């Protein structure tokens, strides 16, 4: 068997399953609704504009899958950091401890789960990019569909390259067995493709959509992700340019930090891109997000499983009086702003409040919190990218201005907390921006990769077992190496 048989053959065979994700109805997030029946045969597909729309909608539907938002994503993107730990009961899902302590076996199932989840996204995008150009349809809509697919493909490759370094660069659906087994591209080559996709997507995508299409990738989504990708490569001029462009598109910080993460404020003025989720009455198959469920308050009806909980180190990282602390962390024994009394005793002292859904919204028979979107890119992240890039380029005034916008929102009108940063020393300002990223974006799966790109892995994660020259990346799944017959090479130290 060739490599990517798991990542591609099963996906290709099962593509008719995802086509059903695309049926359009008139309701919130309508392009994500999934009928339980009526799947379409792949051989009779990719013929009409309707087929093209279904194929693109399937991309978005797949983004909320288990591999993209639940255990595999937590393991790879959160558990290695100093802001999160396993949670739940001591004996439940102990494999998370392997990530927390950097004792990873390449055969660990969460590694292959994350890898396969990203390549499944990429395959759905490639299906669209390979097949839609030949369909006779409105050319403007066709161009937009292709741009949406390029954005999601770029996002998935960005998640892969951050996690593993160089990975196989699959840009088309394989047409025969000889095309399955391909080697790893370098990290630079993957980043170059990500940037190409984002450049092409940003040139086409609209700035906004109507109500029934809200949540699709926009021009702002592509430019913001490009700014973030540039930051990871220390391309500071590009990061500044792209973030400046986004700042001119009309986005704004949502005034209330805690309420920003509630369901009623999804896709707000601050949203650059969110993985969409919804509870669709009568359709549990479509209401399948487990992002909130796996992190919800353990032991409460309507809560969840209690994994990926904040650490004491994170709780101590906030400045005195910073309201983001209580908006980020649910503490045992508190009553949430939405009125839920959290038990005073239990397995965990804290839970992730950003993934929290009020218990009253739980509907029996559905996953707890299945309505909750997963915020991928926020305007505050973009402002901090802008601040960091400006500071690295010596533009202190702009760096301080962008940083202050984030801190001013966090104050929420209280002048006695979070004083404005005024230092003009580049090194001191760099540290201030990094500290702000830590508290502003806490529990949003950025901290681990931020510390590594900043060159502080050994300093921050060393006490947990992090080793320089090895743990900058996770291991390539052993199953993929075995399937390749050794063509895929393992990362050093594993």
Domain boundaries, the chain: 1-205+455-494, 211-276+373-436, 281-359
Beta-carbon count within 10 A of 175 CB: 8
Instruction: Tell me what pLDDT residue 190 has.
Output: 98
For the range 335-342, what are the long-range contacts, defined as Cβ-Cβ under 8 Å and sequence gap of 24 or more?
337/258, 337/259, 338/262, 340/297, 340/300, 340/302, 342/297, 342/300
**Residues contacting 291, CB < 8 A, separation 6+:** 64, 69, 70, 275, 277, 355, 369, 372, 374
Structure tokens at 447: 């901290």
Instruction: Tell me what pLDDT residue 8 has.
Output: 34
* 3-state helix, strand and coil shares in percent for the chain, rounded to the nearest 5: 50, 5, 45
CA angle at 43 for the pair 41 and 45, rounded to the nearest 5°: 75
Domains 1-205+455-494 and 211-276+373-436 share a fold: yes
CATH of 211-276+373-436, picked from 3.20.10.10, 3.20.20.220, 1.25.10.10, 1.25.40.390, is: 1.25.40.390
* Closest alpha carbon to 7 in 51, 55, 53, 67: 67
Helix, strand or coil for residue 329? strand
**Residues contacting 234, CB < 8 A, separation 6+:** 392
Q: CA–CA separation, 15 vs 307, rounded Å?
A: 31
Q: Mean pLDDT per 10-residue run, the chain (494 residues)?
A: 32 38 37 48 86 98 97 98 97 97 97 98 98 98 98 99 98 91 97 98 98 96 99 98 98 98 98 97 95 96 97 98 98 97 94 98 97 98 99 98 98 96 98 98 98 98 98 98 96 97
Instruction: Tell me what pLDDT residue 40 has.
Output: 59
Task: Report which DSSP code applies to 331.
Answer: E
Q: How far is CA 344 from the centre of its chain?
A: 32
Task: Report which DSSP code applies to 342.
Answer: P
Backbone angles phi, psi at 121, to 5 degrees: -55, -50
Backbone angles phi, psi at 361, to 5 degrees: -90, 0
Q: CA–CA separation, 236 vs 213, rounded Å?
A: 33
Contact (CB, 8 A) for 123 and 173: yes
Q: CA–CA separation, 492 vs 490, rounded Å?
A: 6
The two beta strands, 350-352 and 329-331, are: antiparallel
Task: Report which DSSP code applies to 5.
Answer: I
How large is the angle between the packed helices 139-164 and 187-202, nearest 10 degrees?
Answer: 150
Contact (CB, 8 A) for 82 and 171: no
Contact (CB, 8 A) for 98 and 157: no
Structure tokens at 123: 């395959």
- Is 380 buried (19+), middle (13-18) or exposed (0-12) by CB count in 10 A? buried
Instruction: Tell me what pLDDT residue 267 has.
Output: 98
Query: In the CATH scheme, what is the code of domain 1-205+455-494?
Result: 1.25.40.390
Q: CA–CA separation, 63 vs 333, rounded Å?
A: 34
Contact (CB, 8 A) for 275 and 64: yes
The pTM score is 0.93
Q: CA–CA separation, 163 vs 449, rounded Å?
A: 8
Q: CA–CA separation, 46 vs 155, rounded Å?
A: 24
Contact (CB, 8 A) for 454 and 435: no
Q: CA–CA separation, 309 vs 442, rounded Å?
A: 11
Contact (CB, 8 A) for 429 and 400: yes
Task: Report which DSSP code applies to 473.
Answer: S
Instruction: Tell me what pLDDT residue 178 has.
Output: 84
Bridge partners of residue 309, in order along the sequence? 85
* Closest alpha carbon to 288 in 29, 69, 57: 69
How large is the angle between the packed helices 379-392 and 426-440, nearest 10 degrees?
Answer: 170
Q: CA–CA separation, 381 vs 436, rounded Å?
A: 10
- Dihedral sign, Cα of residue 337, residue 278, residue 250, residue 125: positive
Q: How far is CA 252 from the centre of its chain?
A: 20
Bridge partners of residue 378, in order along the sequence? 271
Q: Where are the beta strands (DSSP E) in 65-143?
A: 84-87
Backbone angles phi, psi at 308, to 5 degrees: 55, 65
* Closest alpha carbon to 212 in 420, 53, 365: 53
CA angle at 379 for the pair 316 and 362, rounded to the nearest 5°: 70
Instruction: Tell me what pLDDT residue 129 has.
Output: 98
């Amino acid at each position: 068997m060739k490599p990517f048989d798991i990542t591609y053959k099963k996906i290709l065979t099962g593509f008719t399953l995802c086509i059903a994700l695309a049926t359009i109805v008139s309701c919130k997030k309508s392009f994500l609704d999934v009928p339980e029946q009526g799947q379409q045969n792949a051989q009779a597909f990719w013929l009409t504009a309707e087929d093209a729309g279904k194929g693109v909608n399937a991309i978005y539907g797949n983004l909320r899958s288990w591999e993209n938002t639940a255990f595999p994503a937590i393991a790879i993107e959160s558990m290695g950091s100093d802001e999160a730990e396993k949670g739940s009961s001591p004996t439940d899902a102990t494999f998370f401890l392997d990530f927390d302590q950097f004792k990873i076996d390449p055969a660990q199932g969460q590694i292959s789960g994350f890898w396969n989840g990203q390549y499944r996204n990429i395959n759905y995008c490639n299906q669209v990019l390979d097949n839609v150009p030949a369909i006779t349809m409105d050319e403007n809509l066709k161009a937009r569909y292709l741009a949406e697919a390029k954005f999601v493909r770029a996002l998935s490759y960005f998640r892969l390259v951050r996690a593993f370094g160089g990975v196989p660069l699959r840009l088309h659906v394989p047409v025969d067995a000889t095309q399955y087994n391909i080697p790893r591209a370098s990290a630079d080559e993957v980043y170059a493709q990500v940037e190409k996709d984002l450049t092409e997507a940003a040139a086409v995508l609209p700035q906004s959509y109507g109500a029934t299409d809200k949540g699709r990738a926009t021009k702002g989504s592509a430019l913001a992700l490009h700014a973030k990708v540039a930051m990871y490569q220390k391309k500071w001029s590009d990061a500044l340019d792209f973030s400046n462009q986004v700042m001119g598109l009309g986005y704004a910080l949502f005034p209330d930090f805690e309420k920003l993460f509630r369901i009623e404020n999804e896709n707000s003025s601050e949203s650059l891109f969110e993985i969409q989720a919804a509870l669709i009455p009568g359709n549990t198959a479509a209401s399948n997000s487990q992002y909130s469920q796996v992190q919800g308050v353990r032991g409460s009806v309507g809560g969840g499983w209690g994994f990926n909980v904040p650490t004491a180190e994170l709780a101590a990282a906030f400045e005195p009086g910073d309201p983001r602390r209580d908006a980020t962390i649910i503490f045992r024994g508190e009553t949430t702003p939405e009125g839920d009394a959290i038990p005073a005793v239990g397995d965990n002292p804290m839970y992730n409040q950003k993934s929290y859904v009020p218990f009253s919204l739980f509907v029996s028979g559905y996953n707890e919190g299945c309505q909750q979107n997963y915020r991928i890119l926020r305007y505050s992240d973009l402002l901090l990218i802008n601040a960091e890039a400006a500071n690295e380029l010596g533009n202190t005034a702009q760096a301080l201005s962008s940083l202050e916008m984030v801190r001013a929102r966090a104050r929420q009108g209280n002048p006695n907390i979070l004083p404005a940063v005024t230092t003009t020393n580049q090194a001191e300002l760099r540290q201030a921006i990094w500290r702000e990223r830590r508290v502003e974006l806490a529990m949003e799966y950025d901290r681990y990769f931020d510390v590594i790109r900043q060159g502080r892995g050994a300093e921050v994660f060393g006490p947990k077992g992090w080793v320089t020259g090895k743990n900058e990346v996770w291991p390539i799944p052993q199953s993929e190496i075995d399937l390749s017959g050794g063509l895929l090479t393992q990362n050093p130290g594993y």
